[in-house]
A and B are shown apart, each in its own frame.
Chain A
Amino acid sequence: DAKTTQPNSMESNEEEPVHLPCNHSTISGTDYIHWYRQLPSQGPEYVIHGLTSNVNNRMASLAIAEDRKSSTLILHRATLRDAAVYYCILRPLYNQGGKLIFGQGTELSVKP
């Protein structure tokens, strides 16, 4: 399985944008890029996913590099509630309904 690399931690100020990077240099052409986040003392929750094109939803935006070897999760205005561990996960096309393989994730702290 292709691997992802994320910084261990990042800091942000409240109401400022946050860019969370993920490297996946061994991604295959049929791997989708998914992001989940885990708030303190909760289970992970889905954030967004994409294949090649940039994606937007009510929670965040996902910017995918042209060569697909990296991606960035963008929170447009961080709130205190966005403090969480963010996981970048690759899911093969043939396994969209299967297990998730989590890495270490990036722990985001948000300062008031």
Chain B
Amino acid sequence: GAGVSQSPRYKVAKRGQDVALRCDPISGHVSLFWYQQALGQGPEFLTYFQNEAQLDKSGLPSDRFFAERPEGSVSTLKIQRTQQEDSAVYLCASSAPPGGFYNEQFFGPGTRLTVL
């Protein structure tokens, strides 16, 4: 079955460029998460949506980072004026509708962003 997909898988940007990373969650999943994973580190939470509502953006490192999910399905993570420290793998995860006691998160393969 279709899992979480992300595009592009790899992105190279020059410092100062804007980038947009896309996430297609599993159909019907209400919750969507973005994580950032630096080389050799565990993933770090960036932001969380429930349907189209962004309920938690406490992990976004600066106001250059912006995420949206306008129709409650596909999400886009945008990074403006990219810096070298933004180089990382950006992971998207989705989870099943609330109501269950525990919601396993299903991760996409990630987008590897390299800022030169």
Contact = CB atoms under 8 A, between A and B. Distances in A.
B45 A104 contact: no
B84 interface: no
Interface stretch (B14-22, B60-68, B69-77, B97-105): B97-105
Interface stretch (A11-19, A21-29, A44-52, A74-82): A44-52
Residue of B33, B41, B43 contacting most chain A CB atoms (<10 Å): B43
B41 A45 contact: no
Nearest to B110: A43
Main secondary structure of the interface of A (DSSP, over half): loop
Contacts of B25: none
Nearest to A93: B101
A96 to B, nearest CB: 5
Nearest to B9: A41
B41 A104 contact: yes
Contact of B33 (A91, A99, A104): A99
Nearest to A47: B104
B103 A44 contact: no
What bracket does the count of chain B residues touching chain A fall in?
20 to 34
A102 B43 contact: yes
Contacts of B35: 100, 102
A96 B103 contact: yes
B82 interface: no
B98 A97 contact: yes
B88 to A, nearest CB: 13
A104 B41 CA distance: 6
Contact of B42 (A32, A41, A105): A105
Given A44-B43, A100-B105, 17 more contacts: A42-B109, A43-B4, A43-B91, A43-B93, A43-B107, A43-B108, A44-B91, A44-B105, A46-B105, A46-B106, A49-B102, A97-B95, A97-B98, A99-B48, A100-B45, A100-B93, A102-B43
Contacts of B101: 96
A103 interface: yes
9 contacts: A44-B107, A96-B102, A96-B103, A99-B45, A99-B56, A100-B43, A102-B35, A103-B42, A104-B42
